Amino acid sequence: MNEQQDKAEYYSPIEYIAEAADEGRRLRDVLRKRIGISRRLMVRLKTSDEGLSVNGQKVWPNHIISAGDIIRLRMEAEISETIPPQPMELDIVFEDDHLLVLNKPAGLIVHPTTGHYLNTLANGVMHYWQEKGERVRFRPVHRLDEHTSGLVVVAKHPLAQQQLSTQMMEGTVVKEYRTFVYGRPPEMAGEIDAPIGRQTEDPHRRVVREDGAPCLTYYRVTDTYGDQASAIDIRLGTGRTHQIRVHMTHIGCPIIGDSYYSEEGWNGSELAGRVSDIIGRQALHACRLMFRHPVTGEEMKLEAALPDDMRRLEQELTKSF
């Protein structure tokens, strides 16, 4: 197999050097201890021709490791066959062999859904990788609502996806948002601990209800505009569908521009009329992400500046109040 074919069929290799504490252990145990590799992923590596090697030699998971051994993982490349590539302007914040982090604009769905196969972030990413000659499957680690802008992480291989998903389940991934809401919260900083479930009349709509899933949102007011509006920084304690939008409405401060979770008292207000031409979607932006790199272990802190519509909204609120 020539080099070009090899690149087309395998992801870039990932290497680890065995430590003294790994001496005498089986390879499978070292990988589980060092990186928490799942059984499912271990099977994929075992059945791949170049999946597992030590010091350049193909081995099985029960191979005994010595200190200083060079352990190499290499997974067969995949591609999202059902996602057609589509040229699209992408705002790439970070990329390496393992991750792609993008600043998603509002109005763009992350992944194709039934009846919506084109004009999604996934279509644009597939075209971008195709143009680079990379054979990669689209693996979003998390998602944003269609009309929420900001940072989205896409894993470029199964190991990166597994590692980041584990971090999210453990609550070590920090996701921060900036939003502009009507009114002023009862406190300048606090937490909203209120369970969220589906609304009986409209299963797509979420509401706070006693039998809902536990939901925790931390907030800090960074600016107030009289008693009419507030700028708020938000950090998620949990990650439920529509969580921020539901929790803000729950405390009487619906997000400006959010027609789905709006309140009648604000809909016909002078402020709502004034900003309707400035922003036509919920004023919510995923501005910061912090996590450990799934392969190198490096602490990652990524940021995305406010989009133009939210900056114009901020300027209008500052000017008016």
Of 54, 61, 58, nearest in space to 38 by CA: 61
Beta-carbon neighbour count of residue 289 at 10 Å? 23
- At 33 the pLDDT is 83
Identify whether 10 is part of a domain: yes
In a domain, 85, yes or no: no
Q: Within a domain: residue 184?
A: yes
Domain presence at residue 84: no
Q: Is 72 left (phi over 0), alpha (psi -120 to 50) or beta?
A: beta
Of 130, 146, 165, the position where a domain reaches its end is: 165
The reply to whether 32 and 123 lie within a common domain is: no
Q: Are residues 56 and 137 in the same domain?
A: no
Assign residue 132 the CATH number of its domain.
3.30.2350.10
- Does residue 196 fall inside a structural domain? yes
Domain boundary among 165, 182, 203: 165
Of 22, 145, 258, 309, which residue is the catalytic one? 145
pLDDT of 5? 42
**Domain-ending residue, one of 44, 73, 102:** 73
pLDDT for residue 9? 66
Q: Are residues 138 and 209 in the same domain?
A: no
Domain CATH number, residue 32: 3.10.290.10
CB hemisphere CA count around 165 (13 angstroms): 14
The whole-number pLDDT of residue 1 equals 40
Which candidate, 133, 232, 223, 248, places its Cα nearest to that of 180?
232
First to last CA, the chain: 68
pLDDT of residue 185: 96
Q: Are 117 and 127 in contact (CB under 8 A)?
A: no
> Quick one: 18 and 38 in the same domain?
yes
Cα–Cα dist 90/204, whole Å: 29
211 is catalytic: no
Does residue 181 sit within a domain? yes
Element (H, E) at 53: strand 52-54
257: left (phi over 0), alpha (psi -120 to 50) or beta: left
Q: Looking at the structure, do residues 226 and 185 belong to the same domain, yes or no?
A: yes
Longest dimension (CA), the chain: 73
Question: Is residue 161 located within the same domain as residue 182?
Answer: no
Q: What pLDDT tens digit does each residue of the chain (321 aa) get? A: 444 444 436 677 888 899 999 999 999 999 888 778 888 888 888 888 888 989 989 999 999 999 999 998 988 777 777 899 999 999 999 999 999 999 999 999 999 988 788 999 999 999 999 999 888 999 999 999 999 999 999 999 989 999 999 999 899 999 999 999 999 999 999 999 999 999 999 989 999 999 999 999 999 999 999 999 999 999 999 989 999 999 999 999 999 999 999 888 888 899 999 999 999 999 999 999 999 999 989 999 999 999 999 999 999 999 988
**Does a structural domain hold residue 80?**
no
Beta strands 174-182 and 284-292: pairing type? antiparallel
What are the backbone dihedrals phi and psi of residue 94, each rounded to the nearest 5 degrees, phi first? Answer: -155, 145
Residue 191's pLDDT is 97
Q: In which domain, by residue range, is 105 found?
A: 92-165
